[in-house]
Amino acid sequence: EKKVYILLNKPKDCVTTSEDTQARTTVIDIVKNACSERIYPVGRLDRNTTGVLLLTNDGDLASKLTHPKYDKKKIYHVGLDRDLEREDFEAI
């Protein structure tokens, strides 16, 4: 089977799963016409989170990117709708 790699800019209100029992839009719904191969998301982003998500059928790559034994560094960029207060830093 040929390896497929799709980068998706995941929109808000979309779940990072292949199927959803609550009939919400999934990342697979968004890319369903991109290829005929069965692909799946690598990692996850929360429903209300936007950002780049890799979908693939390459299990070896998915494992190397997500399994703790490979100790991959993850970087998140967060935007806020207000300035952080001292209490916020203490809570973090």
Q: pTM value?
A: 0.82
> Catalytic amino acids?
46
> Which tokens is 82 given?
């207000």
Mean pLDDT for 69-85 is 89
13: left (phi over 0), alpha (psi -120 to 50) or beta: left
Regarding the domain delimited by 5-91, which CATH topology (the fold level of the hierarchy) does it fall under? Alpha-Beta Plaits (3.30.70)
User: Cα(75)–Cα(35) distance, rounded to whole angstroms?
Assistant: 29
User: Cα(37)–Cα(44) distance, rounded to whole angstroms?
Assistant: 20
55 residue type, one letter: L
Question: Could you read off the pLDDT of 27-76 as tens digits, one per residue?
Answer: 999 999 999 999 999 999 999 999 999 999 999 999 999 999 999 988 88
Q: Quick one: which of 84, 37, 42, 39 has its CA closest to 63?
A: 42
